[in-house]
Amino acid sequence: MAVTEGRPTDTVLGPGYISEYRPLLGGSPGMQVIRDIVESVADIDASVLLRGESGVGKDLVARAIHAASSRSQGPFIKVNCAAIPQGLLESELFGHEKGAFTGAHRRRPGQFEYANKGTIYLDEIGELPLSLQPKLLHVLQDLTFCRVGGTQRLSVDIRIIAATNRNLETAIARGDFRDDLYYRLNVVEILVPPLRERKEEIPALAARFLEIFNRQYGRTKTLSQKVLDELMAHDWPGNIRELENVIRRLVVLENSANGLGTSLGTRPAPPVVPIERESHQTLRDIARTGAREAERRALERILQQTNWNRAAAARVLKVSYKTLLHKIAECGLKEDPPQQP
């Protein structure tokens, strides 16, 4: 294979990667380093571990690796290890035979089978139950496994990419994650920097999201210099996902042309209540009130970052869906409906 500076030439890299992904990986020095790694390992079937905060673009990097590789014509299968109940995750990954458990009325292939000849992307790998980690380790070692309830060994030809926003070294020290699985996954490690460290990408990312949402909602919004200045000044704790959500909100809200207002999660300070008017409250009462307000603000921020996807918000907050709905009602939060054009 012809190489240039240790990387595959553009004619070897997948055309989808060249047109779609490479431009998105060159907007800052940090992402240019990642682009070089992606192109270096594209056709090496070593496991890749993507690390970084939530919302930094780990999915984009995973898809870029797949698109740049010779597997680009094969399937790209994403599995969110935190979104599937633990009792169903083994069957989801490896499939099951008919009668393997109550409700298994027929044989069902798992995601590893669907990913054959392609790439499987295990997102939030740090949430994988300890009981499943030995089986995944075995698959990494020889690319064979059995369906749940089966004895036949199945072989697959796949590339494995994993991602996490957790500190796996800490999880290993606590006994929550196997060190041998960690070393198998972490053959190539790519650390995706947070958006606050690559702010030079914000104008291009904002323009890209603006184009997408203008087309989606039938709008013709533009970004004023004031809005761009506000975007550049923000610290982006929710990273690219937060930026995407802010641009979506700017497009759907009619009164958002000149500034972001509260779109970046900044709110006016609550009015100061004179102490004498609150003198009947105990210190405990005041503490409870403050805790409730802090909980409401945190919940609202997460809901905004997930675009009011309640299932996703429940996963971020690590509570049940039912508990989340109760908290939304308790805090009196309501989703603002998008205005019709």
The tokens for 98 are 């008919």
CA-based nearest residue to 34, from 53, 9, 4, 58: 58
- Given a cut of 80, whether residue 260 has pLDDT beyond it is no
Rounded-to-integer distance, Cα 188 and Cα 117, Å: 20
Please give the full DSSP string across 96-107, using - where no structure is assigned.
Answer: B-TTSSTT--S-
Rounded-to-integer distance, Cα 83 and Cα 68, Å: 27
The tokens for 311 are 């299932």
Integer CA distances (angstroms), 151 to 99, 140, 304, 306, in order: 13, 19, 47, 41
Give the CB-side neighbour count of residue 7, counting CA atoms within 13 A: 16
- Given a cut of 50, whether residue 242 has pLDDT beyond it is yes
- Given a cut of 90, whether residue 256 has pLDDT beyond it is no
Integer CA distances (angstroms), 185 to 11, 114, 155, 159, in order: 29, 20, 19, 11
Q: DSSP label at 177?
A: S
Consecutive H or E run containing 222: none
- pLDDT tens digit sequence for 264-296: 654 443 444 343 434 444 545 544 555 666 677
One-letter identity of residue 2:
A
Rounded-to-integer distance, Cα 81 and Cα 163, Å: 10
Q: What is the pLDDT of residue 261?
A: 54
Q: State residue 48 phi and psi, 5-degree precision.
A: -125, 135
Top mean pLDDT of 49-58, 249-258, 302-311 is at 49-58
Q: What is the pLDDT of residue 289?
A: 57
Q: What domains does the chain contain, in order, with CATH numbers?
A: 3-193 (3.40.50.300), 197-331 (1.10.8.60)
Cα angle: 185, vertex 190, 196; to 5 degrees: 140
- pLDDT tens digit sequence for 67-122: 999 999 999 999 999 999 888 899 999 998 888 887 778 889 999 999 999 999 99
CA-based nearest residue to 176, from 218, 130, 234, 215: 130
Sign of CA dihedral 28, 34, 36, 38: negative
Q: What is the pLDDT of residue 188?
A: 95
- Given a cut of 90, whether residue 330 has pLDDT beyond it is no
Q: State residue 115 phi and psi, 5-degree precision.
A: -85, 0
Give the CB-side neighbour count of residue 26, counting CA atoms within 13 A: 9
The tokens for 48 are 């890749």
CA-based nearest residue to 1, from 57, 48, 39, 50: 39
Percent of the chain with pLDDT over 90: 58
Integer CA distances (angstroms), 113 to 88, 91, 119, 185, in order: 16, 12, 11, 19
> Could you tell me if 286 and 301 are in contact, meaning their C-beta atoms sit under 8 angstroms apart?
no
Rounded-to-integer distance, Cα 86 and Cα 36, Å: 36
